[in-house]
Amino acid sequence: MFHNVVYCGLISHSILDDQVVEGKHKPIVSKALFLKVHGIQEAKNHKSKHNKANENLPLKVFTTCAACESPLTYLAKKKNIYYYKCKTVGCSCNKNANDLHGKFTDILNLHQIDEKLIAPLKTQLKYTF
């Protein structure tokens, strides 16, 4: 209910370019209550988004298990070290996040472009795309 501004006497619609304007209808809840509850929900939403994108685990779901090819999620950190974990039941693939990040960085380093080739590459990309 508190996601829709109509309940506090306002209107928002794509016809109005999604601007929020005063409606002519009687509000069910006050704007103050709407904003108060909406603020609480925004805080909860922000918290859950933060949990989904843990900055200590940038390869979560991006990397897959070598044994069963299931996306790696994470295991609660132990002794201040994060671990990636295969979510397949019975597959005991756990990877130390620091080790995996190091290996990933090594792979990225293989794809560095020589400084003198950057300008011609940019020119070619401009022609291609």
Site string for Zn ion, 69-108 (x = CB under 5 A): -x---------------x-x--x-x---------------
* Phi, psi for 71 (deg, rounded to 5): -60, 140
Q: CA 116 → CA 94, 106, 113, 120, 122, distances in Å?
A: 41, 22, 8, 8, 11
Closest by Cα among 43, 51, 90, 50 to 74: 51
Q: Rounded to the nearest whole angstrom, what is the least distance from the CB of residue 39 to Zn ion in the complex?
A: 41
Nearer to Zn ion, 65 or 97 (CB): 65
Subset of 57-76 contacting Zn ion (CB under 5 A) = 65, 67-68, 70
What lies within 8 Å, CB to CB, of 66 at 6+ separation is 93
Q: Which of residues 24-53 bind Zn ion (CB under 5 A)?
A: none
- Residues within the interface to Zn ion (CB under 5 A): 65, 67-68, 70, 86, 88, 91, 93
